[in-house]
Structure 1
Amino acid sequence: MHIDAWIESVPPTAVYALIGLIIGIESLGIPLPGEIALITASLMAVKGVVSPWGIAACAVAGAIIGDSIGYSIGRKGGKPLFEKLGRKFPKHFGPSHLATAERSFQKWGMWAVFFGRFIALLRIFAGPLAGALKMPYWKFLIANVLGGVIWAGGTTLLVFKVGKAIEPWLSRVSWAGLAAAVVVGATSAWVMKRRAAKTHARIEAEEAAKAAEAVRTPVAD
């Protein structure tokens, strides 16, 4: 069963907790389809099954709390935590992915947490990596709250408004919304993977150059 069908199958009162849980776990650093789950719940709100404000509130809370827990885990575990995860889950936490995420933090600082909310793969790194890099918590919290409110709350209300505007074609919109979420997620993942592959290739080239230089350099007596 796909996650959208699963969410639609649970009692309406449980949808709120489920959305908060899915987005919270994803923000914690575990890859889950948070965007698809959020859009599915927002479309349910268009049909009147759940409240859009309730979905937005639970999604925002899940995003902020999940990221904060991830920050705490990263701060305690440090970079060795990512090395362990890289060995166990190379597709998501490999050295090249970590290097790409670190470059984003070096470029944007605390705003990598904010921008990371809108990029599928960077989203799972934002909290733990901010903690591992010892980013001051107050800086992290500002970016975390802003990103959570704008991404989770904004996505919910935007989908709800658009859905209400074209409610007569809701069945088609539902599929279009889910398709759009898949495309956005897949595109973000593809971009991040390309950047990760380039970073990985650059790191390997630098290491090979250093090894070659070490071989050419004579050892002093």
Structure 2
Amino acid sequence: MLNDLFSEYGLLAVALAVLLEQLGAPVPSTPVLLLAGVESAMRDGFALQSFAVATLAALAANGVWFWAGQRLGRRVLATLCRISISPDSCVRQNEASFARRGVLTLVIAKFVPGLSILAPPLAGALGMPASRFIAWNLLGSALWAGVAIGVGRLFHEQIDDLLHALSHLGGVALALAGVALGLYLAWRLWRRARVRRELERFERLGPAEALALAQQRSDIVFVDVRACSPTMPLQNRIPGARHLDMGALGDAALAGWPPAAVFITYCACPGDASAVRAAIWLKQRGHQAQVLRGGIDAWTQAGLALEPG
């Protein structure tokens, strides 16, 4: 039954599945691409057709997010991460990937859960030229679609046997798949709620409170935990802030830092997630640490001074 439907509407299914997934809908497109690979073993030219449709659909959806990133900047990233199942490390991990790999992030994005939807708007927010984005994103989309369709074609006999077995199970197979998906989503949502509770419990200072404390005491050190690199420098920071690389935490990361200082960490992420992680890490090493509520965005909105990053 499924094979018959795919034979008739296969290209439409590929286009819709890829487009919806890349726009952010919880619709996995890889199984559809695998089915396209299976179908290509029985129809001449279908592999190339489905490859072209999948690549162009991905490029179109990613282009929408790239444009949104150009127009709205990091606000679109914060919005995406708030609706993400795992918002606690959403922006930080994607920024860190761009800091380490640059444009190669667009090539590997679709192979990394969570990175696929965030990479295009992040590229736009970071000011990547549209021509460069299109070239690298096209390469990544083509590689991803080609691998998925190729795997489907390579193992078309085994996948076809599995589909026939599932068709004999009928409603039981659908019920089992639904239960497995429900359990997975329940676990991720429970983890999200637990992480959010942990983040909300951590002590925070508002921008005005943090500034007043820094003016009263000489041992206050602001710590910027946003991802950066020579190709992705920070545009501005709180005056005198030190940078802490969350991807390379270790004793060497604090070399030369004042041991008796009171650290105030900040980031540019939903829920101050990265800043809280950094503060917890500092406290575990015997330092005093607090978090700037709202991060660099709240500091900027309060009209407080900044310096070049």
Give the TM-score normalised by the residue count of structure 2. Answer: 0.51
Aligned-residue CA RMSD (Å)? 3.6
In structure 2, the CA distance between the partners of 1:91 and 1:9, relative to structure 1 (3 Å rule), is: farther
Q: Is the 8 A contact 1:42 1:157 kept in 2?
A: yes
Secondary structure of 1:211's match? strand
| Aligned twin of 1:120 | 113
From 67, 85, 89, the counterpart of 2:80: 85
In the alignment, structure 1 residue 211 sits paired with structure 2 residue 290: yes
Q: How far is 1:90 from its partner?
A: 4.0
Q: How far is 1:109 from its partner?
A: 0.9
* 1:170-209 matches, cutoff 5 A: 170-172=160-162, 203-207=275-279, 209=288
Secondary structure of 2:127's match? coil
| Aligned twin of 2:127 | 134
Q: How far is 1:171 from its partner?
A: 0.5
Q: Is the 8 A contact 1:30 1:124 kept in 2?
A: no
Q: How far is 1:100 from its partner?
A: 0.7
| Aligned twin of 1:54 | 49
Distance in 2, Cα, partners of 1:70 & 1:212: 31
| Aligned twin of 1:32 | 27
Distance in 2, Cα, partners of 1:28 & 1:147: 16
Secondary structure of 2:73's match? helix
Q: Is the 8 A contact 2:33 2:152 kept in 1?
A: no
Which has the bigger relative contact order, CA under 8 A and spacing at least 6?
Answer: 1
Q: How far is 1:48 from its partner?
A: 4.1
In structure 2, the CA distance between the partners of 1:29 and 1:107, relative to structure 1 (3 Å rule), is: farther
Q: Is the 8 A contact 1:59 1:153 kept in 2?
A: no
Q: Which one has a bigger Cα radius of gyration?
A: 2
Q: Is the 8 A contact 2:59 2:138 kept in 1?
A: yes
In structure 2, the CA distance between the partners of 1:61 and 1:212, relative to structure 1 (3 Å rule), is: closer
Q: How far is 1:168 from its partner?
A: 8.2
**149-158 or 8-17, larger mean C-alpha shift:** 8-17
Gaps of 5+ in 1: 176-185, 214-221
In structure 2, the CA distance between the partners of 1:75 and 1:172, relative to structure 1 (3 Å rule), is: same
From 102, 109, 113, the counterpart of 2:102: 109
Structure having the higher strand fraction is 2
Q: How far is 1:44 from its partner?
A: 3.0
| Aligned twin of 1:217 | none
Q: How far is 1:140 from its partner?
A: 1.3
Q: Is the 8 A contact 1:113 1:127 kept in 2?
A: yes
The letter of the residue matching 1:102 is E
Q: How far is 1:153 from its partner?
A: 2.2
In structure 2, the CA distance between the partners of 1:168 and 1:140, relative to structure 1 (3 Å rule), is: closer
Q: How far is 1:154 from its partner?
A: 3.2
Gaps of 5+ in 2: 166-183, 196-245, 248-271, 281-287, 293-309
In structure 2, the CA distance between the partners of 1:168 and 1:143, relative to structure 1 (3 Å rule), is: closer
Q: Deviations over 1:76-112 (max 9, x none)?
A: 121112223333x1415x2511111111011111111
Secondary structure of 1:91's match? coil
Structure having the higher helix fraction is 1
In the alignment, structure 1 residue 143 sits paired with structure 2 residue 222: no
* 1:60-79 matches, cutoff 5 A: 60-79=55-74
